[in-house]
Amino acid sequence: MVAGLVAVTRRDLLLAWKRPGDVLNPLFFFAMVCTLFPLAVGPSPEQLTFSGPGVLWVAALLAALLSLNSLFLGDHEDGSLDQLLVSAQPLPMLVLGKTLAHWLTSGLPLVLISPVLALTYRMPGNVMGVLMLTLLLGTICLSLLGSIGAALTVGLNRGTALLGLLILPLAMPVLLLGANTVSLAAGNEMYTTGVWALAAYAVAAISLAPYATAAALRISNE
């Protein structure tokens, strides 16, 4: 099972390497939203500190949604999705490998670039650490939840719009927990409860989302 997961992950990472635009587009979107917002609201430190966590988290959520539609679309178009469905390897494990590759190429770069963008909101170093931790857990959740929606909408016309409608209600708890945790850290208040809640959400998503995605793929392929 591990061999199948590693093989699928490696394949998707190599395909992403050949299509750098798919990786850079969400990063550019994330950077533009986060840098343009301070120009719109003004340089007030109080305003930037108050709005920074919410803006960074909303931008990360929307950037993650940009790349979700292509998670299974390429496999559907070239026929390799059918090979995954009839493979001797467990389908949930193969789905987890594809989701891992998606997170490594879309979620992890958002986490790594977030401290640079947080400087525009005058975040101190300790708050940046909390921001990176919450985004790390949150992007894992978003990739796993997004894989369910991507599996349900694969091959459909206007699947991107439908994917957003499916995923946003599931992603709202992640967004609220992440932004609120960073805001509490910026106000020197107790924030560890939010981190633990995000970690629990991520563990639940890792445990359940691959099975839901596998079932959605089988339904979409019928």
What does the pLDDT average to over 203-209? 91
What does the pLDDT average to over 141-168? 77
User: Which residues make Cβ contacts (< 8 Å) with residue 95, sequence separation at least 6?
Assistant: 147, 151, 210, 213, 214, 217
Question: What pLDDT is stored for residue 156 in this prediction?
Answer: 67
Question: What pLDDT is stored for residue 136 in this prediction?
Answer: 93
- pLDDT of residue 161 exceeding 80, the answer is no
Query: What is the pLDDT of the chain when averaged over all its residues?
Result: 83
Q: Give me the amino acid identity at 25.
A: N
pTM of the predicted structure, to 2 decimals? 0.87
Total number of domains in the chain: 1
Question: What pLDDT is stored for residue 203 in this prediction?
Answer: 93
**Which range has highest mean pLDDT (8-17, 37-46, 150-159, 194-203)?**
194-203
Residue with tokens 């301070």: 38
Q: Which domain holds residue 137?
A: 2-220
Q: How far apart are CA 128 and CA 218, in angstroms?
A: 41
Q: Give me the amino acid identity at 31.
A: A
Q: How far apart are CA 35 and CA 40, in angstroms?
A: 9
More confident residue, 208 or 75: 208
- pLDDT of residue 158 exceeding 60, the answer is no
- pLDDT of residue 157 exceeding 80, the answer is no
Helices (H) and strands (E) in the chain, counts: 10, 0
Q: How far apart are CA 57 and CA 194, in angstroms?
A: 14
Q: How far apart are CA 212 and CA 210, in angstroms?
A: 5
Q: How far is CA 37 from CA 71, 113, 135, 220, in A?
A: 29, 17, 19, 39
More confident residue, 75 or 108: 108
- 9 touches 84 (CB < 8 A): no
Question: What pLDDT is stored for residue 204 in this prediction?
Answer: 92
